[in-house]
Amino acid sequence: MLGGFLALLSAASFALNVTALRRGVLTASVFQAIAITVPMGVPLFLVILLLFDCWTVLLNLSTNSIIYFSIAGILHFVFGRYSNYRSTQALGATQAGPITQLALFVSIFFAFFVLDENITIYLLIGMVMVLLGPTVILLVKKKNTITQSGINIDYKNGYKWGVLCALCFGSSPFFVKLALNDGGIKENIAGGFVSYIAATIFVFLIVLLSRSKLKDIYSLNNSGAKWFVVTGLLVFLSQLLRYMALGVAPVSVVEPIQRTTVIFRVVFSWLLNKQHEIINLTVLLGIFLSIIGVYLIIWQI
């Protein structure tokens, strides 16, 4: 029960984060978004680490756990987040939702074929429904090419980055579970800190190799960069809740519930970004099909 509730809060926070991100990438780059949001997680997670008295747990993490948490962090916070941001930039937060739902396929694969959990016919039907969501949206893309504010929707790049995002987001929980080794919430918080440290180091290496000027990357003069700060805070909250959920519930429970984030995306996008999004009956149908599939999966787990 607690794990499901934490996963639901994480889904809502993640949706609001993506909605804020959508505003940011209208005037700033995705590269800047990653460079700002990922390092923000380190001091924020450090505070939580101290508040929950997880310092001893952190120091006692095994080498294997540190390695697996680091892999999960780089995979999720760098590659997955970058792909998600690119997909959101191309499609908008609302339309990017159903395609990133495909992460569920990867999570289910690891949960049922690697972690030896059970699979049923209803679970397979649910997965097909999840796949139908983005398919419906794609079939009528010619009618949904320009937003009210005049932004062109790039379906090709949006779906490409969405699939890459799904692969990263769907596989990272597997490495978290390997790192946990039956640990609880404190181990997950400590793991989240390790994941953010690894991801931040990786991001700084990319920044150095790109030879970009730090003052340009971390300048907040652009309105988009200010949205990235909000995004960083929200995504931190989302990931914290996600790690805590994984500490008290199975992957097969946490990940499907988190996929309900597309519902929150529609609500927040309508309230904050309606003129920059495509929100119509076709898109809502695609989202509805995805949600039906998700709940079929949750019902079977």
3-state SS string for the chain: CHHHHHHHHHHHHHHHHHHHHHHHCCCCCHHHHHHHHHHHHHHHHHHHHHHCCCHHHHHCCCHHHHHHHHHHHHHHHHHHHHHHHHHHHHHCHHHHHHHHCCHHHHHHHHHHHHCCCCCCHHHHHHHHHHHHHHHHHHHCHHHCCECCCCCECCHHHHHHHHHHHHHHHHHHHHHHHHHHCCCCHHHHHHHHHHHHHHHHHHHHHHHHHHCCCHHHHCCCCCHHHHHHHHHHHHHHHHHHHHHHHHHHCCHHHHHHHHCCHHHHHHHHHHHHCHHHCCCCHHHHHHHHHHHHHHHHHHHHC
Tell me which of 53-57, 146-150, 166-170 is least confident.
146-150
pLDDT single digits (tens) 198-221: 999 999 999 888 877 766 677 766
Greater model confidence, 293 or 75: 75
- Rounded Cα–Cα distance for residues 274 and 280 (Å): 11
- Rounded Cα–Cα distance for residues 176 and 6 (Å): 16
Would you give the end-to-end CA distance of the chain in angstroms?
Answer: 13
Task: Give the mean pLDDT of the chain.
Answer: 82
Average pLDDT over residues 144-152: 76
HEC secondary structure over 244-292 = HHHHHCCHHHHHHHHCCHHHHHHHHHHHHCHHHCCCCHHHHHHHHHHHH
Phi and psi torsions of 62, nearest 5°: -75, 165
pLDDT band at 193 (very low <50, low <70, confident <90, very high): very high
Residues 6+ apart with CB under 8 A from 126: 292, 293, 294, 295, 296, 297, 299, 300
All structural domains of the chain with their residue ranges:
2-300
pLDDT single digits (tens) 25-72: 888 888 888 998 999 989 988 988 888 888 999 999 999 999 999 999
- Rounded Cα–Cα distance for residues 109 and 249 (Å): 17
Average pLDDT over residues 178-201: 87
Do the Cβ atoms of 265 and 273 come closer than 8 Å? Answer: no
Cα angle vertex 168, ends 166, 171, to 5°?
100
- Rounded Cα–Cα distance for residues 90 and 161 (Å): 9
Query: For residue 46, what are the CA distances in angstroms to 126, 193, 232, 236?
Result: 38, 7, 15, 11
Whether the predicted pLDDT of 301 surpasses 60: no
pLDDT single digits (tens) 96-126: 877 777 777 777 776 666 655 566 777 777 7
Residue among 35, 29, 129, 141 at smallest CA distance from 91: 141
